[in-house]
Amino acid sequence: MVGWSMTIRVSDPPTNQPMLTQHEFLAPLAARRTDQVVVSTMSLVRAWGRLSKHELDFAFADSAMGHAQSLALGIALAQPQRRVLCLNGDGSMLMSLGSLVTIAQCRARNLILFVAQNNTYEVTGNQNIPGAGAVDFHDIALACGFPHAFHFHDAREYESHLDKILHLQGPVFISVRLEPGAEPPPNRKQSEDTPYLRGSLADSAHRLREALNQ
Amino acid sequence: MLTTRRLLETFKQLHITHVVGLPDNSTAALFHELAEDPDIYLITVTREGEAFATAAGLWIGGQHPIIVIQNTGLLESGDALRGTLTRMRIPVIILVSYRGYKSLPNPAPTTLTPDDLSRRDVDSVAVLLEPTLRAWNIPYEIISDNSELEKIIFAQQRAQNETRPTAIVIAENIR
């Protein structure tokens, strides 16, 4: 089941209950994506890049140190007519929980923040994050002032609600319980399979600015 | 004397759209005024590192932000600055209030010792501010009076010409 409204608290499932794979999380999102900006970070960078080659994709990599959602907030405030999706990790989210308060305070109606909750620092080898399995990001987001927060651990439930979520007035927070993966750190080099990791971070930032302000 | 009114005039001359930061005692009057200003959007963050990423996003989105933080917050957010404005080559000005400026020894020590950083009569964040800006490769100017506000315009020009962040250090309370 999901945390559907701002008044319902939904606990994480016991460990023997289903979790989403990374593909089950990202593929439905990629299928519905139109002209939204997508900011990805850490283990989600390459995974998203395998599904999308859009000019409004931005990889906050090689390291964002917990600031991807703040960068997404800035883009959302600058471009209020355009939706901004941020694909964040749980370890990254913990690095800057206070930014949830800032986002809620700014009432960024066009910002949708996803947190992939696999309870590990995946790119450094799946060490447990602090509070692994105990932290309730859904409740934290609501307590910080998000008008909408959701938690999913079932792929069908997630996909069935995604259309509605993507059209809500934000800011919207979605945590998704994922299986641990095995993505290596997202480096930038010419040989990368995902095009948005082939240029420098500066090139990517300046290209996105051009694309958004044509 | 450095006044809020003249500082805001300078911001508007530079077409600043957003101020992102955290107030301290020396910038309190500026934040108070910004909260009521209809032309510049104020974003108060919970920790200074957020300010750098949010300002980077605003710039990518086509806006013209400026960051206002204390020197303590600058030191706290070193990697946020490195990972955003510096690594993305984003021309944004960082306004840094110089806590402890008046406690600095004259002349300031050129080589720091443990004693320089633990003296009770000297604020160690003031001792570290300028060496840190130099180490992080952030060009800066110090201002303490309205007559020096032109330095902010020059800082903006340098930021744009060189596609990099620059800093203005405020060594006086804003009235």
Residue A140 pLDDT more than 60? yes
- B106 pLDDT tier (thresholds 50, 70, 90): confident
CATH of the domain at B72: 3.40.50.970
Expressed in percent and rounded to 5, the helix, strand and coil fractions of chain A are 40, 20, 45
Residue B136 pLDDT more than 50? yes
Share of chain A above pLDDT 90, in %: 75
Instruction: Give mean pLDDT, residues A32-46.
Output: 95
Q: Is residue B96 part of a domain?
A: yes
Residue B102 pLDDT more than 60? yes
Rounded distance between C-alpha atoms, residue A84 and residue A172, angstroms: 11
**Which chain B residues in 24-53 lie under 8 Å from chain A, judged by CB atoms?**
41, 43-47, 49-50, 52-53
Q: Which domain holds residue B39?
A: 4-170
Q: Is residue B121 part of a domain?
A: yes
Q: Is residue B145 part of a domain?
A: yes
Model confidence pTM above 0.90: yes
Look at residue A1 in the predicted model and tell me its pLDDT. 42
Of the candidates B174, B20, B169, the one whose C-alpha atom is nearest the C-alpha of residue B90 is B20
Cβ neighbourhood burial of A34 (10 Å; 0-12, 13-18, 19+)? exposed
CA angle A201, A207, A209 (to 5 degrees): 105
Q: Alpha carbon of A139 to those of A12, A17, A155, B130: distances in Å?
A: 11, 20, 21, 42
| CB-based contact, B83 to chain A, within 8 Å | yes
Q: Is residue B175 part of a domain?
A: no
Rounded distance between C-alpha atoms, residue B90 and residue B111, angstroms: 31
Are B174 and B11 in contact by the 8 Å Cβ rule? The answer is no
- Nearest CB among B46, B59, B65 relative to A98 is that of B46
Domains and CATH numbers, chain A: 33-212 (3.40.50.970)
Residue A102 to residue B61, Cβ atoms within 8 A:
no
Instruction: Give mean pLDDT, residues A175-190.
Output: 88
Are A205 and A212 in contact by the 8 Å Cβ rule? The answer is no
Rounded distance between C-alpha atoms, residue B161 and residue B52, angstroms: 20
Are A194 and A61 in contact by the 8 Å Cβ rule? The answer is no
Q: Maximum distance among all alpha carbons in chain B?
A: 48
Look at residue A17 in the predicted model and tell me its pLDDT. 65
| CB-based contact, A36 to chain B, within 8 Å | no
Number of domains in chain B: 1
Q: Is residue B109 part of a domain?
A: yes
Count the neighbouring beta carbons within 10 Å of the beta carbon of residue A127.
Answer: 10
CA distance B105 to chain A (A): 36
Look at residue A15 in the predicted model and tell me its pLDDT. 56
